[in-house]
């Protein structure tokens, strides 16, 4: 199958917008310039689902208050709750854009969805953004009565860096035993920051937005080095202790710019006898979930995530 026409059209629109801009190598861009370059995302996200929403905050281990957003907070306590970690490369404030996608998941699934915020790199280097997300999850679980959730119905997930974050948190939860995760849902994640999982390079090159060059740039801004790239905290693909991981669903856009990572991580969990499912979204690229107003062909990835919640978590 070819890349969806709506996604090809969007890539052409971006190319036309950038045609008159000065050409600057990505490696020469400051993080401020990079952040400014993705501000256009907000034009193509669509609007949030018209469902109940609640703002709250959590306390991190170093005493910092971080905001979270809860969709469908009014549902019964026994309703599954998805902790959704934003796709932002750990370096760009895309909270509102991810929240719009999360609201669609909550609406499709009639489930609770909590959008978690973290501090960003390079102002706050790894592993702090991941620890923020872990602390947010733990805080809500420890205050289950306050947030009206069932601590036995915890699901973690996200897109891109959010999927990476969910995978790392699942490993951490197994070790620390602070809480139990019922299921993890990983969409278009990256799991190997040393870039050895390249079996799907011919598919990846069709994605004109999320490329391995972009991922390497963002990883460097987060403090990842060649020496640290294969440590399990940064690259869960290299985790050796997999016992106790939750049931996992890996959702993959056919032309995701880092598809090789998802496919390799799926095979790793399969070989370790972790219950794992794989869903392929034909014709889609990395950012279809977030830019749904422009990339509108095929199943909404939010609906695919909602379907997983219903099949495995209710």
Domain contains 119? yes
Domain contains 189? yes
Domain contains 82? yes
Domain contains 31? no
The reported pLDDT for the residue numbered 186 is 98
Kindly report the average pLDDT of the chain as a whole number.
96
Model confidence at 18, pLDDT cuts 50, 70, 90, reads confident
Domain contains 33? no
The reported pLDDT for the residue numbered 184 is 98
Domain contains 32? no
Q: Total structural domains in the chain?
A: 1
CATH number of the CATH domain containing 122: 3.40.50.1820
pTM of the model: 0.97
The reported pLDDT for the residue numbered 24 is 87
Domain contains 198? yes
Instruction: For 101-110, write each residue's pLDDT tens digit.
Output: 999 999 999 9
- Average pLDDT of the residues in 75-100: 97
- Average pLDDT of the residues in 242-258: 97
The reported pLDDT for the residue numbered 21 is 78
Q: Which structural domain, as residue segments, surrounds residue 194?
A: 5-21+43-312
Instruction: For 168-226, write each residue's pLDDT tens digit.
Output: 999 999 999 999 999 999 999 999 999 999 999 999 999 999 999 999 999 999 999 99
Domain contains 26? no
Comparing CA positions, the residue from 135, 153, 134 lying closest to residue 144 is: 153
Model confidence at 78, pLDDT cuts 50, 70, 90, reads very high
The reported pLDDT for the residue numbered 17 is 87
């Amino acid at each position: 199958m070819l890349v969806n026409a709506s996604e090809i059209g969007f890539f052409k629109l971006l190319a036309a917008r950038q045609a008159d801009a000065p050409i600057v190598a990505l490696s020469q861009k400051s993080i401020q310039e990079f952040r400014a370059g993705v501000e256009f995302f907000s034009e193509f996200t669509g609007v949030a689902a018209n469902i109940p929403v609640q703002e709250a905050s959590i306390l991190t281990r170093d005493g910092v208050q971080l905001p979270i957003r809860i969709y469908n907070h009014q549902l019964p306590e026994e309703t599954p709750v998805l902790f959704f970690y934003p796709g932002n490369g750990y370096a760009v404030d895309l909270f509102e854009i991810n929240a719009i996608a999360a609201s669609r998941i909550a609406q499709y699934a009639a489930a609770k969805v909590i959008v978690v915020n973290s501090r960003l790199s390079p102002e706050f280097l790894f592993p702090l953004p991941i620890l923020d997300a872990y602390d947010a999850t733990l805080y809500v679980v420890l205050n289950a009565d306050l947030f009206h959730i069932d601590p036995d119905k915890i699901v973690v997930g996200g897109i891109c860096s959010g999927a990476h974050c969910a995978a790392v948190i699942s490993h951490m939860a197994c070790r620390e035993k602070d809480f139990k995760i019922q299921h993890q849902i990983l969409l278009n994640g990256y799991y190997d920051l040393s870039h050895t999982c390249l079996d799907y390079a011919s598919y990846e090159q069709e994605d004109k937005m999320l490329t391995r060059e972009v991922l390497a740039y963002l990883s460097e801004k987060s403090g990842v080095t060649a020496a640290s790239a294969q440590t399990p905290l940064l690259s869960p693909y290299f985790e050796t202790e997999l016992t106790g991981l939750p049931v996992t669903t890996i959702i993959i856009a056919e032309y995701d710019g880092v598809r090789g990572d998802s496919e390799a991580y799926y095979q790793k969990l399969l070989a370790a006898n972790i219950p794992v499912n794989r869903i392929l979204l034909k014709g889609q690229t990395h950012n279809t979930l977030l830019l749904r107003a422009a990339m509108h062909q095929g199943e909404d990835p939010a609906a695919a995530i909602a379907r997983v919640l219903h099949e495995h978590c209710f």
